[in-house]
């Protein structure tokens, strides 16, 4: 999967850290909240206060006293179990405009369950059994201009619907998805014109979700192989640079499995080598074309996965342990840089997210349809690892910014200019133009795709040296919902490539 970093990693370094050896659940889906299937069997994390969930219709356990969802507190490194009744299997979600995690799940049996989780120390999932208009499984969520959440596609349901309080709206069919094989977890990105970029199989369109019509058909991805699930490549919208008059929107798509890999692995036990190419295209270019590149072994940070086979239970071999950093501004042929390898295989159903302190948190692996800890090639993994890129190394502490104003959890209006004051850790700025500010929408990560991920490089109007290693910048925040949907963002200050903790 691809994780957006808010600054460039300087060298092939960084060090892996185990932060929790056993969180009790395999993490198939992750925001800062984590969850997994409920029908794998009992997890290793018990529900609080002796609580149990009883469901006479359940196929695996009629009575389950284990948790299948949890909140991970990155500050004190603790886990709080959450209670859930309905299955999360291969679901989707996003933090919507109400700053609520809305998870749109169903399962193999085609439920219409929707869940909401508010951010508070004691909040639990609120489950709504008929919260969706249609069943939804292997769908993709994205937050729209007005804060609504769109749910796109499904296994057998090639349509979309919206969620926003107080409820749902009717669905619309998308023939583009229904005519695409390998169309599960379609890639969805909000373009700066307000329309959606949709990618499934090896094709991409620009789609007006209000008028329910195709605006533009992009060139087919080169090579003819599918890239979306179960070929399961990784994709990301490259950072949007708001310091420029013309905002270019580029998509990067990497790796995946060749056409036919799924049936070869499942039916014949033959595991083909995965694809080692990336395609990059500007969707705002009047004449868009895919530019192809070859990866080294497997930043933007490319992380996790297998080098043979395809997505699915026990259909992957040879874990990719190297992290690969993608340097977008470098010329073709020198954009990939190998980082410190991990020692733990992170195969099918692993996840990774960028957290406010700048680390990448990596969890999970469960290539079986139950929790299996022995006598299998890749056992279920319950540990949590962190990869701190080299910009977090203590040798850079004197250059590290710390935001002092505004206070955390502040609110910004569109087009607002705001003073941001920060200090350096005793060091001096090499030049006043050495600062940048970025804002990142936290993503919902599952199946190699970070839904709703968006990174904006903000325009700085002025910089003032306040003395004593303290500085004030006047920042121009996005002036349009097409650039940044209503919602929650992490704000970082970057000095000479060294990252501050986020607000």
Q: How many residues does this entry show for the chain?
A: 503
Distance of CA 342 to the CA centre of its chain: 20
Does residue 278 surpass a pLDDT of 60? yes
Does residue 503 surpass a pLDDT of 50? yes
Q: 406: buried, middle or exposed (CB in 10 Å: 19+, 13-18, 0-12)?
A: middle
- What is the pLDDT, as a whole number, of residue 38? 80
In sequence order, which residues have a C-beta less than 8 Å from that of residue 113 and are 6 or more positions away? 86, 87, 105, 106, 127, 128, 129, 131, 132
According to DSSP, residue 7 is labeled S
pLDDT digits (tens, 9 = 90+) for 186-212: 999 999 999 999 999 999 999 999 899
> E-strand spans in 165-217?
167-168, 172-173, 187-190, 196-200, 203-208, 213-217
- Give the residue-averaged pLDDT of 99-127: 82
- What is the pLDDT, as a whole number, of residue 108? 59
Average pLDDT, the chain: 86
- What is the pLDDT, as a whole number, of residue 439? 94
Does residue 459 surpass a pLDDT of 90? yes
pLDDT digits (tens, 9 = 90+) for 298-350: 346 788 888 899 888 898 999 988 888 887 778 887 888 888 888 888 988 88
- Give the residue-averaged pLDDT of 370-382: 91
d(CA 340, CA 346): 15
Does residue 229 surpass a pLDDT of 80? yes
> What is the strand order of the sheet 301-302 is part of?
2-3, 301-302, 324-326, 336-338
In the chain, the percentage of residues whose pLDDT exceeds 90 is 40
How far from 409 is each of 99, 327, 417, 490, 501, CA to CA, in Å? 11, 31, 17, 9, 13
- Give the residue-averaged pLDDT of 458-475: 92
Closest CA to 439 of 283, 240, 284, 245: 240
Q: Which domains does the chain have, with CATH numbers?
A: 2-392 (2.130.10.80), 394-499 (2.60.40.10)
Judge contact between 445 and 451, C-beta under 8 A.
yes
The model's confidence at residue 237, banded by pLDDT at 50, 70 and 90, is very high
- Give the residue-averaged pLDDT of 254-275: 92
Does residue 448 surpass a pLDDT of 80? yes
The model's confidence at residue 297, banded by pLDDT at 50, 70 and 90, is very low
Pairing relationship of beta strands 459-467 and 454-457 according to DSSP bridges: unpaired
pLDDT digits (tens, 9 = 90+) for 214-224: 999 999 999 99
In sequence order, which residues have a C-beta less than 8 Å from that of residue 348 and are 6 or more positions away? 306, 311, 312, 313, 315, 316, 365, 366, 367
pLDDT digits (tens, 9 = 90+) for 122-176: 999 998 888 888 888 889 999 998 888 899 987 777 888 888 755 556 678 888 8
**DSSP SS3 for 16:** coil
Q: Which residue has the tokens 């060749």?
A: 258
Question: Does the reported pTM lie above 0.85?
Answer: yes
- What is the pLDDT, as a whole number, of residue 195? 96
Q: Two tokens at 448?
A: 């190699």
- What is the pLDDT, as a whole number, of residue 432? 66
pLDDT digits (tens, 9 = 90+) for 6-42: 666 655 566 788 888 999 998 888 887 787 888 777 8
């Amino acid at each position: 999967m691809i994780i957006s970093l808010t600054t460039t990693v300087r060298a092939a370094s960084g060090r892996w850290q185990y932060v929790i050896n056993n969180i009790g659940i395999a993490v198939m889906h992750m925001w800062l909240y984590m969850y997994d299937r409920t029908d794998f069997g009992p997890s290793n994390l018990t529900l609080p206060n002796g609580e149990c969930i009883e469901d006479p219709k359940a196929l695996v356990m009629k009575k389950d006293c284990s948790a299948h969802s949890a909140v991970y507190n990155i500050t004190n490194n603790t886990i709080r179990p959450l209670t859930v009744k309905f299955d999360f299997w291969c679901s989707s979600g996003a933090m919507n405009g109400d700053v609520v995690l809305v998870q749109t799940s169903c399962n193999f049996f085609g439920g219409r369950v929707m869940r909401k989780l508010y951010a508070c120390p004691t909040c639990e999932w609120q489950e709504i059994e008929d919260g969706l208009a249609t069943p939804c499984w292997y769908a993709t969520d994205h937050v729209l201009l007005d804060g609504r959440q769109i749910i796109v596609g499904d296994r057998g349901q090639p349509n979309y619907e919206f969620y926003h309080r107080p409820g749902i709206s009717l669905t619309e069919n998308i023939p583009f998805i229904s005519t695409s094989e390998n169309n599960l977890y379609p890639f969805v990105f909000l373009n700066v014109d307000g329309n959606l970029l949709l990618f499934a199989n090896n094709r991409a369109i620009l789609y007006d979700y209000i008028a329910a019509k195709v605006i533009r058909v992009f060139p087919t991805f080169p090579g003819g192989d599918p890239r979306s699930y179960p070929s399961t490549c990784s994709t990301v919208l490259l950072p949007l640079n708001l310091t420029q008059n013309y905002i270019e929107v580029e998509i990067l798509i990497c790796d995946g499995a060749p056409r036919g890999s799924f049936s070869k692995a499942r039916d014949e036990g033959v595991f083909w080598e995965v694809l080692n190419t990336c395609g990059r295209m500007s969707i705002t270019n009047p004449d868009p074309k895919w530019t192809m590149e070859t990866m080294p072994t497997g930043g933007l940070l490319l992380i996790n996965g297998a080098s043979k086979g395809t997505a699915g239970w026990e259909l992957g071999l040879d874990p990719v342990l190297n992290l690969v950093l993608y340097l977008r501004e470098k010329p073709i042929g020198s954009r990939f840089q190998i980082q410190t390898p991990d020692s733990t295989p992170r195969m099918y159903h692993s996840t990774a997210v960028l957290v406010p302190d700048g680390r990448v948190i990596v969890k999970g692996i469960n290539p079986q349809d139950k929790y299996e800890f022995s006598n299998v090639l890749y056992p279920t993994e319950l540990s949590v690892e962190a990869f701190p890129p080299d910009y977090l190394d203590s040798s850079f502490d004197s250059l590290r910014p710390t935001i002092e104003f505004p206070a955390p959890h502040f609110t910004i209006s569109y087009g607002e200019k705001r003073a941001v004051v920060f200090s350096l850790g005793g060091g001096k700025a090499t030049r006043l133009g050495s600062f940048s500010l970025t804002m990142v929408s936290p993503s919902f990560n599952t199946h190699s795709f970070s839904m709703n991920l968006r990174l904006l490089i903000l325009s700085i109007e002025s910089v003032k040296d306040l003395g004593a290693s303290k500085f004030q910048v006047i920042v121009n925040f996005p002036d349009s919902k097409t650039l940044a949907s209503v919602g929650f963002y992490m704000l970082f200050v970057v000095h000479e490539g060294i990252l501050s903790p986020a607000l």
